[in-house]
Amino acid sequence: MVRQKVEICGVDTSKLPVLKNDEMKKLFMALQSGDLTARETLVNGNLRLVLSIIQRFSNRGEYGDDLFQVGCIGLMKSIDNFDLSQNVRFSTYAVPMIIGEIRRYLRDNNPIRVSRSLRDIAYKALKAKEKMVNKTLREPTSQELADELGLSNAEVIFALDAIQDPVSLFEPIYNDGGETICIMDQISDKTEKEDDWLDHLSIKNGMKELKPREKLIINKRFFQGLTQMEVAEEIGISQAQVSRLEKSAIAEIKTDMFQDKLN
């Protein structure tokens, strides 16, 4: 199949390379040893990631070239700050960093006016958030940001809400060429308990027919409240694979439940 040639910032997107995980690790090791050519290879090998992310901002009326350049800045920051020893996939770390860079750009160019005091608090919170993410490789809570800034939790939440646009939980943030990953797939839910799911969905019998990996994924996703990305990291596969296996398992459980009702 012939790929359609699409140029953005003078780059032929149909010819962008894709790096495998083992290649990424070797390049990061080389970069940490001072090999700057490895940095360039890492940037070029992850431009498809930037392209997939800027698609969600395509309805903002911004030029694709501008968003691509801003996304590349986020990508380069991610590469420079990525800690290989944390055993986290680079895309897990880079996606929120790139999105954050694009959001900052859009806020700075937003015609809707927010008070200077709120904007100052929000920018301080975002700066503190980026610093904490680089240090801990996780998103800080609003209370942690508030403690860092010496403000109340309510002040931080209100300031951040004032400068952000609402988004749909079903908005896609990444596509690896197969399964689309949405915002909803990266949200943990710690409120559901196993007994609640068993009572409400009668899922216990359906899980008996699942394959071991599918059963493991359903357990971690819906009983333990992990995100697809967290499950992927634990069992050593991609988030897209987790998504596909999860949907397949749910479909099989629904089929079994339907047949049980007929019987």
Tell the burial category of 180 from Cβ atoms under 10 Å away from its Cβ (0-12, 13-18, 19+): middle
The answer to whether residue 97 is domain-embedded is: no
Q: Is residue 100 part of a domain?
A: no
Nearest to 185 by CA among 68, 92, 119: 92
What's 38's DSSP letter? H
Confidence (pLDDT) at 166: 52
Last residue of a domain, one of 92, 126, 159: 92
Q: Tell whether 73 and 15 lie within a shared domain.
A: yes
Q: pLDDT tens-digit profile of 230-253?
A: 888 888 888 888 888 888 888 887
pLDDT digits (tens, 9 = 90+) for 106-116: 877 765 555 67
Residue 206's pLDDT is what?
65
What burial letters (b/e) apply to 48-77, b meaning 16+ CB within 10 Å?
bbbbbbbebbeeeebeeeebbebbbbbbbb
pLDDT at 76: 92
Residue 55 forms part of a structural domain: yes
Residues 15, 72, single domain; the answer is yes
Q: Could you tell me if 256 and 206 are in contact, meaning their C-beta atoms sit under 8 angstroms apart?
A: yes
Q: Residue 219's domain spans which residues? A: 181-262
Q: Are residues 149 and 191 in the same domain?
A: no
241: in domain: yes
Residues 3 and 73 in one domain: yes
Any domain includes 105 = no
- 3 and 86 part of one domain: yes
pLDDT in tens, 62-99: 777 888 889 999 999 999 888 888 778 888 888 888 98
With respect to residue 73, please indicate whether it lies within any of the assigned structural domains: yes
The confidence score (pLDDT) of residue 1 equals 33
* Number of structural domains the chain divides into: 3
Q: Are residues 29 and 87 in the same domain?
A: yes
Q: What is the pLDDT of residue 193?
A: 46
CATH of the domain at 215: 1.10.10.10
User: What does the alpha-carbon distance between residue 224 and residue 234 come to, in Å, rounded to a whole number?
Assistant: 13
Q: Is residue 102 part of a domain?
A: no
Using DSSP, state whether 151 is helix, strand or coil: coil
Taking 70 as the pLDDT cut, the residues of the chain under it are 1-14, 59-61, 110-115, 163-206, 256-263
